[in-house]
Chain A
């Protein structure tokens, strides 16, 4: 048994004007999860400590919270590991969601985003009423859908999503992972509409910070789903700035082997690139602007041949 300090963010809307931090001295052993300790604190020291929990085995998703500044499941986080890394355990409610009471947050915003992606199988009516047998599905066909379906809707990715902080129209990683779950399911009939809807729900607003991949307790890898969805969108007529940027970027590599930031910038931004003309001129002055006539790298024909050979591979 060893001693440890838990610093927990508290807030009771009935008496507190703003959140504050409480310190708790606890005794822990090497097996205890953060949830085990929270339960001990609640039952032995402060009954008003409020948090959600249920399965205590990492599958229901109730106990997601920020532990030492990163969103995790409390039941699947070993206390001694946190202490050895950070010296103490700092517990805070998830980010990007309104706090109700202590560590309990309002998940409505999270679920609203999930619903934006139409999270159910859109199936053929005939198929639905035919009970003669199952749809045949090969293991390979199910891989992606199964991986995204591992999501337990805990909210950790949503909490730690950097883009979400700065862009409330960005539907968030869990919602997009769920979209891919259906896009990648051969039984779903709404693929086209789902892809067409992506721009509206902010698929291009993801900044690839990879926090969602890092923090997901089920290794769903939402950012990989986002890339795969963008890929489908780009190759099915997406005319948004994000899609155009991808095409222009790729084209730049085909031409010279390297990215030409100046031409890519201007081509992507079009007229609005004029807003940064002062920046571009300054960079040119300082020798930081690549020439649009830049020479391609040696053996560029290899690069171009690879482009040609892989033309049919524009899929996830």
Chain B
């Protein structure tokens, strides 16, 4: 084996090292789509990503991407399903934009080479999905994210998009509500950089790793959202965390909704298809918040299996269908749960899966700070409201990624070069130096683990005042301990302990916002379920939560929901 030469770490000299029109943080579907669009519109754009692009969390999506392609389908029906699915918290104008653009977005992906599964006459196949009144989820077996992410990356390479690979953004530089750029660590060398930009597009995904049980990859730690929050940008609807009903017992690896879309059953320990009692019409294909609550209730009331799970039974689908449409989850079930779904039911339990909230944007990805844009899971447009339909997240990324890229390019064209504050990088560097020098402090992994437990136990599917307040106390205590965190690995060359410590610190801030929002919202809506306020209360709570950073903790305010076509109604399936 050959080894890299000894790296040299330079201290910051006082001037930003990189300048671009636009910097995109995150190289998943939204980030790359935004970058490609911006580049094609003539902007000097660069993508900053802490992972190689193909390792991004988008790569893990399984089930599919929605679009009203069918003759008997329509964007209006898609929009209605989405809005009802959101428990009427979604901003309907944004939903309309997304659903209208969906067919074009799918065709574009197909033309770029995406290998969608096909019908017998060669058209893009679509499967039924949760909360959808029509089978409109386009898919590539059960590795849709992998197929789309690789296609998107190929297009980024084709278009010559510049990528700062394995650079970790540590802060957003916003002065007087104007975005100036970012600071970032070059992970390879540990060097802190300042990247000056007229516009920054946040696209680094959700925050699942705040929870100890999540489908999200170990790197989905939400710092994109938290960075905006720390820089003074209010963040929206953070209390709405989606819990996916079917994740593998133990590992919480995702088992796609597509398994139910293809006809899978959910069965409790008494052999009953219990969804009959919760959503008699849609059964297993009710929206995720309903199914997760149902499973959790079955488990709590003693009808689950010992160990806290129920069964997802696919046996009746048959070997051929499983191997053709669900080969990935078959492999995952065999590998990670020791079960072959052709022969046995899969043990599943709900776990955190998606962040409905995020950085608030308009339908062009513009946030409340000038020059700051956001797209994908880290943004809150809001198209998903209080609960996201399966298949709409992948759609969200490409629709709003493109729009944000175009808008950012337009903005950059008519904006003078930003002036990057000279002390921004130095401050970040000093913070890192402090973390690396400290001896015998707290371990960040321990804090992360403790946080994860608190969130799962007390800020999960069913919430109530007492446990939420207890959770808040726990988090605040953990935050105080954070001040003493020291990183045991003192090297500069690819120091993953340092990165993990930074991620943990972001996670704690975000947890505080989630709990605050959950405590304040005295109703149940979508994925936010209060046992002490079990009903949806449109009179008092048909509004979005906004959380603004203060040194004492998040300050909450609210903004109205945009309603266009569909008046909020009772939500039954």
Contacts and interface: CB of A to CB of B under 8 A. Distances in A.
B370 to A, nearest CB: 33
Contact of B491 (A101, A119, A182): A101
B154 interface: yes
A98 B4 CA distance: 6
A152 interface: yes
Contact of A120 (B52, B157, B489, B491): B157
A153 B154 CA distance: 12
A188 B188 CA distance: 36
- The interface residues of chain A, by DSSP majority, are classed as loop
Contacts of B188: 100
A120 B158 contact: yes
Contacts of B151: 121
A56 B217 contact: yes
Contacts of A149: 115, 147, 150
Contacts of B108: 131
Interface stretch (A42-50, A243-251, A254-262): A42-50
Contacts, number: 177
Given A56-B253, A98-B2, A152 B491 contact: no
A107 to B, nearest CB: 7
Contact of A139 (B118, B158, B217): B118
B122 A137 contact: yes
Contacts of A101: 491, 493-495
A14 B493 contact: yes
A188 B254 CA distance: 33
B336 A57 contact: yes
Contacts of B328: 59
A185 B7 contact: no
A61 B55 contact: yes
Contacts of B5: 13
A50 to B, nearest CB: 5
A255 to B, nearest CB: 43
Nearest to B488: A47
A48 B116 CA distance: 42
B122 A14 contact: no
Contacts of A188: 113
Nearest to A51: B496
User: How many residues of B sit at the interface, in one of the four size bands?
Assistant: 35 or more
Contacts of A293: none
B568 interface: no
Contacts of A1: none
Contact of A47 (B331, B332, B489): B489
Interface residues of A, number: 65
A24 to B, nearest CB: 15
A59 B146 contact: yes
Contacts of B488: 47-48
A56 B60 CA distance: 10
Interface in A87-119: 92-93, 95, 98-101, 104, 106-107, 115, 119
B71 to A, nearest CB: 12
Contacts of B1: 19, 92-93, 95, 98-99
A59 B123 contact: no
Q: Which of A54, A93, A99, A139 has the most CB of B within 10 A?
A: A54
Given A104-B494, A120-B155, A99 B118 contact: no
A146 interface: yes
B123 A134 contact: yes
A155 B123 CA distance: 33
Interface string B131-172: 000000000110100110011001101100000000000000
A53 to B, nearest CB: 6
Interface string B13-53: 00000000000000000000000000000000000000110
A139 to B, nearest CB: 6
A60 B217 contact: yes
B495 to A, nearest CB: 7
28 contacts: A11-B3, A13-B3, A13-B5, A13-B7, A42-B497, A48-B497, A54-B57, A56-B251, A57-B253, A57-B254, A58-B332, A59-B143, A59-B146, A60-B217, A62-B51, A62-B55, A93-B1, A99-B1, A99-B4, A101-B491, A119-B157, A121-B112, A131-B104, A131-B107, A134-B111, A149-B115, A153-B150, A187-B111
Interface of A: 11-15, 18-19, 31, 42-43, 47-48, 50-62, 76, 78, 92-93, 95, 98-101, 104, 106-107, 115, 119-121, 123, 127-128, 130-139, 142, 145-146, 149-150, 152-153, 182, 185, 187-188
| Closest 10 A/B residue pairs (Cβ) | A121-B113, A47-B488, A136-B122, A120-B154, A48-B489, A120-B158, A101-B494, A43-B445, A55-B217, A54-B217
